[in-house]
Amino acid sequence: MKTARPPPPALPLPLPETRKQRADGAEARGHLLLAALRLFAEKGFAKTSTRDIAQAAGANVAAISYYFGDKAGLYRSVFTEPLGACDDISRFQPEHLSLRQALEGFIAGFLEPLKQGDLAQQLTRLHFREMLEPTGLWAEQIKLQIKPAHAALAEVLARHLGVTKIDDDVHRLAFSITGLAMQVFISRDVIENVRPQLIATPKSIDLWAARLADFAEAMIAVEAARRLRPVGGKKQTP
C-alpha cells in the first residue's frame, strides 16, 4: 500500500508591490534627507545644489522634485524632520507634575536628540548656519515652537514659585534653565575632546539630564529666596 506524500512546503508570498514601493520610497527619501542635512550644514542653503545632494544620496535629481517639490521644500524638511519633535510641552507642563518631574521632563526632552549622535550635531550646525544665513525658517521656528515652549516653562516656574503674574525674572529663570541644556549642544565638540565619556552613550546623556535638573532646582531655590528678601524695606509680593 502506497503512503501519500506530504504536500510541498508553502512558498512565502511575495511582498505586495505597493508595500515594496512604499518601503523603497521611504528609504530613498531618507537618503536624500541625510545627504542634504550634511551638505546644508557644511555649505548652507545657497551654496548647496540639488545636483550635489542627489549625487551624495545616490539618487536622481528628479527625486528631489518628486519627494520635496524643490530645494526649498527639501531644506524645510531637513530643518524640521530628522530629530522629530523634541519640544513636546506635555512632558513638563501638566499641573499634576512636581517641580522635579517637570524639570526632568523638560531637560530630558531637550537632550534626547543627542542620543542620535552625529545626526544631532549636524542639525545643530545647520541651525547655527541658518542664524547666520537666514532663510526665514529660524524665525518661523522661534514663533511656532520655541516661544510656546518657553511660555510653558515660564508658566511652570511661576506656578511653583507661587507667582501670580509672570514677570521678567521668571522669564530670566526660564531662559537660564534652557541655557543649561543648550550649552551641551553648543559645547559638544569641546566635551568630546575634553571628557568624551560624559556624552558617549544614551545612559550618560540621561545622567547629564538628571544633573542639570539638580542645577535647575538650585537656581529656582535661589530665585525663591531672592523673592523673600525685603526690597526697600518691604517684602516682595508675588
Which residue blocks in 133-201 are alpha helix, DSSP H?
Answer: 137-141, 147-161, 168-186, 188-194
The string of pLDDT tens digits covering residues 4-22 is: 554 444 434 444 444 444 5
The string of pLDDT tens digits covering residues 113-153 is: 898 888 888 988 999 899 889 999 999 989 988 999 999 99
**Residue range(s) in the chain whose domain bears CATH number 1.10.10.60:** 18-80
Q: What is the pTM of this model?
A: 0.80
Average pLDDT of the residues in 50-64: 95
The string of pLDDT tens digits covering residues 98-108 is: 999 999 999 99
Q: What is the pLDDT of residue 88?
A: 83
Candidates 1.10.10.60, 3.30.750.210, 3.40.718.10, 3.40.50.720; correct CATH number of 18-80?
Answer: 1.10.10.60
**Residue range(s) in the chain whose domain bears CATH number 1.10.357.10:** 89-235
Q: What is the CATH number of domain 89-235?
A: 1.10.357.10
Is the pLDDT score of 182 beyond 70? yes
Measure the CA–CA gap between 194 and 136, rounded to whole angstroms. Answer: 35
**What burial letters (b/e) apply to 92-130, b meaning 16+ CB within 10 Å?**
bbeeebebeebbbbbbbbbbbbbbeeebbbbbbbbeebb
